[in-house]
Amino acid sequence: MSNGPLPNKVDPRKLAERNVRITGKADLIGMPNLCQSLIGTDGSVDVDLQFAVAEEGRRIRMITGSATGHVYMTCQRCLDPVEVTVEVDFNLGLAASEEAAKQLPRTFDPLIIGDEEIELLSVVEEELILSLPTDAYHDDCSIKTSYGDAGAVTEDNDKPNPFSVLAQLKASNK
């Protein structure tokens, strides 16, 4: 078991064979794609990953785990920052190719790795992006309905209607 910052690159096949568990914190600043949907890059996410081999008719290397944390997004009502709790559980089945991914049981989300090591932070980042709400709101957000001075808006009813000429033309065609 590892506790601390997540390793940059890992070989998930070897970790699954050894039944390794990795826990740690992932800084938001290291996840630029996630930060595009957030306000600020301060903070971190707690990550818990278990690499294992499942015996479901055949040996399937898998990554199960969770990531939780608090991030700030823009409230879609008042445009102020709102704290959002992100929680994601994932169950990834490792596949060497697209064809192998199609053979995985439906209980696994495929992670196509080929013969390379994977960037662990990128995998966690993608799962966190999928767990973000599409629209973030405050629970008790008060929407501003008027801006500026209340007396600044005046109605000018003294102006003639520019379409009154068309009404006269329409009446004369009858």
Q: pLDDT tens-digit profile of 91-135?
A: 999 998 999 889 888 889 999 987 888 899 999 999 999 999 988
Domain for residue 129, yes or no? yes
Contacts of residue 70, Cβ cutoff 8 Å, sequence gap at least 6: 43, 83, 84, 85, 86
pLDDT (tens digit per residue) in 19-63? 999 999 999 888 989 999 899 888 889 999 999 998 766 788 999
Domain for residue 150, yes or no? no
Domain for residue 146, yes or no? no
- Collapsing DSSP states into helix, strand and coil, what is residue 168? helix
Are 64 and 109 a contacting pair, CB within 8 Å?
no
Report the domain count for the chain: 1
Range of the domain at 99: 2-135
Domain for residue 171, yes or no? no
Domain for residue 101, yes or no? yes
Domain for residue 157, yes or no? no
Domain for residue 142, yes or no? no
| Distance of alpha carbon 128 from alpha carbon 130, whole angstroms | 5
Contacts of residue 115, Cβ cutoff 8 Å, sequence gap at least 6: 96
